[in-house]
Structure 1
Amino acid sequence: MPGGLDHLVHAVRDLDAAADAYQELGFTVGTRNRHPWGTHNRIIQLDGFFIEILTVAEPEKIEPHRDGGYSFGAFQRDYLAKREGLSMLLLASSDAAEDARSYAAAGIGEGDVFSFARQGLRGDGSAAQLGFSLAFARDPLSPDAGFGVCQHLHPENFWSPAFQAHANTAQAVAGVVMVADNPTDHHIFLGAYTGQRDLHATSSGVTARTPRGDITIVEPVSFRDQYGVDLVADDTGARFTGLRIAVRDVGVVERLLQQNAVEATCHLGRLIVPDLFGATLIFEQGIVR
């Protein structure tokens, strides 16, 4: 069964500009990585979770979707043709092949397991071999939202306390937020995707509580009430809109953003950055489970 949140893809058209914007928010951002299928990324690590800032840098290398195969690059390319923003969520997996079989049995599977390796850097700057196995899922009502699991094949080479030290005191992911006109339409998919049988449902939305962070789907009016940001749902079902980040000291974040002239608002005890390349970043006080 999938575990907690592993990473969230933030698809952008200008990778370095987006990385600079994250640095102005006080994050430590990794160097550029290149994938052989045409996407490039830069990574921000938290405790057991990372933000993958990603762009399609070499479109000629993008592989198309095929029968029995899912193209990560083609999904990101098609997403960026419409908008920038939070394009895909991946949960932690201890066995991507088993999760792929479970998704297929539930009728939400999207292609075979996709495995790849690349060179990375440890916190001390030395080279390290990295490897990942991904399995994807599809919500048929939300074609513009990507879902999957990620199994780290060499986790000891990937996670680094040095990369998790941030000037804004960010520590962990608290959750991701999606917006949809009818959140309950996605209740069955969310349960099958996360493996959570008992979802928390209210009049304004539905939440899956994972071992590392929540996945919440709310109506646009609820997103406005909770975070002070007006959004409009579209006809593409649920889409990722917000990332909730637990920080040690919201006051430090507020002072840093003021110093860097970053637009932000305080709302219900949270600090909100309303439009970071199509995403809403939500800073919250305290350590989460």
Structure 2
Amino acid sequence: MGHDTNGLHHVGHIVRDMDQAMERYRRLGFTVAAPTYPVMPAAPGGPAEPFGVVNAHVYFPHGFVELVAVIGDTGRAPGGARPIPLRVPADKAAGLRAAIRATAANITSFLERFQGVHIMIADTPDIDRVAARLTAEGVGHGGVHDIQRPIETAQGTTMEPARYLEISGPGRSAGRVPEGRIGFAENTPVNAPQEHTDHPNGSTGLVECVLCVADTALPEVERRYGSYFGPARDGRATRFDGADVTVVTASALAGLLPGERPAALPAFVAYAVSVRDLSATEKLLRGNDVPVTRTGPGEMFVPAGAGLGVAIIFRQDGSVKGSLVRDVDARRT
């Protein structure tokens, strides 16, 4: 196991206010692509109306952070957002609208838990192989979905094919596990223009996601994640290298990220990005009045209070992969 997974594809940060989130991420030194949202007529021949969710992306050469907010009944989209018309046959329109509303309801339920990261999608070169493996191991999932997603390119917004699969937890609806939504996406290249992958903070990639669980739940989560992503590397935090995910208990979190407390359990409490020059990143953040905590010579983090519900770790490019596991062990010895 694990050979069919190539780290993180993306994480999804659920936010209450997209305008606020984009401003915060830009203050953190990220380049945020223009948000998009779906529009389609409420009835045949009627005007196109916004509904469902609005998304914005922080792109890296491989992987991205997705910002997600619910449009809600007001139909208000954030400033600068681009509508994406959904064109489907008349007999499919009602089903598509229902599916998107179901997604929005799912996102709303995540937000009711807390504002922060609720989505973690692993990258794979062969999603059909992953689906077959999960089925053989008795892991519930919703099958492989073929969709089209909006991508910002040098020529404007285009729709590109994407394939994904969502894990289903026992007794839960499709695409839901206790910590939120996890799954796999096939690594179709994201043809984002270079200006969208150049970040003032020097970030170069999405390299880790951190899940915090109750101490008593750790064995079950390790078993579950092992069936999803392959063997773990054990320590006081458990690292699944196949998906770039670290699992840490609530009692060990403060040793990993000093001062941090989970908003709920289980929860994705942090994600990490690599940067070209950590000192330059720190200077930019402090210059923007963003609080940072150094956890070692090659790593620091912005606390969840300043990251809209998720701690954001900045790690020197080229540092040891999975250094969270190494560092928490070193601080406990």
**What TM-score results when the alignment is normalised by the length of structure 1?**
0.85
| Identical amino acids, percent of aligned pairs | 22
Shift of 1:64: 8.3
Shift of 1:243: 0.5
CA RMSD of aligned residues (A): 2.6
What corresponds to 2:113 in structure 1?
Answer: 82
Larger mean CA deviation between 30-39 and 219-228 belongs to 30-39
C-alpha distance 75-113 of structure 1, shift in aligned 2 (>3 A): farther
What corresponds to 1:68 in structure 2?
Answer: none
- Partner deviation per Cα, 1:178-208 (whole Å, 9 max, x = no partner): 10123222112111211x2x31112x23211
Shift of 1:3: 2.4
What corresponds to 1:207 in structure 2?
Answer: 239
1:19 to 2:22 alignment: yes
Q: Distance in 2 between matches of 1:165 and 1:136?
A: 30
C-alpha distance 100-72 of structure 1, shift in aligned 2 (>3 A): farther
- Which runs of no fewer than 5 residues in structure 2 stay unpaired? 40-50, 76-96, 172-176, 322-333
Q: Distance in 2 between matches of 1:287 and 1:121?
A: 28
SS at match of 2:125: coil
- Which runs of no fewer than 5 residues in structure 1 stay unpaired? 66-70
1:149 to 2:184 alignment: yes
What corresponds to 1:107 in structure 2?
Answer: 138
- Partner deviation per Cα, 1:137-176 (whole Å, 9 max, x = no partner): 13559523211111255x2x53443321111110122211
Q: Distance in 2 between matches of 1:214 and 1:96?
A: 17
In 1, are the aligned partners of 2:7 and 2:207 still within 8 Å (CA)?
no
- Partner deviation per Cα, 1:37-72 (whole Å, 9 max, x = no partner): 71111000123110001111146956389xxxxx54
In 2, are the aligned partners of 1:25 and 1:253 still within 8 Å (CA)?
no
Matched letter for residue 245 of structure 2? I
Moved over 6 A (4+): none
Larger Rg: 2
C-alpha distance 263-34 of structure 1, shift in aligned 2 (>3 A): same
Larger mean CA deviation between 3-12 and 218-227 belongs to 218-227
What corresponds to 1:130 in structure 2?
Answer: 160
What corresponds to 2:91 in structure 1?
Answer: none
SS at match of 1:40: strand
2:58 to 38, 44, 51: 44
Matched letter for residue 300 of structure 2? L
C-alpha distance 241-117 of structure 1, shift in aligned 2 (>3 A): same
After TM superposition, the structure 1 = structure 2 runs for residues 1-289 of structure 1, keeping only pairs within 5 Å, are 1-35=4-38, 38-58=52-72, 63=99, 72-122=103-153, 124-140=154-170, 142-153=177-188, 155=189, 158-182=191-215, 183-194=218-229, 196=230, 198-202=231-235, 204-210=236-242, 214-232=244-262, 234=264, 236=265, 238-269=266-297, 270-275=299-304, 276-287=307-318
Matched letter for residue 184 of structure 1? P
In 2, are the aligned partners of 1:79 and 1:144 still within 8 Å (CA)?
no
How many residues in Structure 1 have an aligned counterpart in Structure 2? Answer: 274
**What TM-score results when the alignment is normalised by the length of structure 2?**
0.74
Shift of 1:229: 2.7
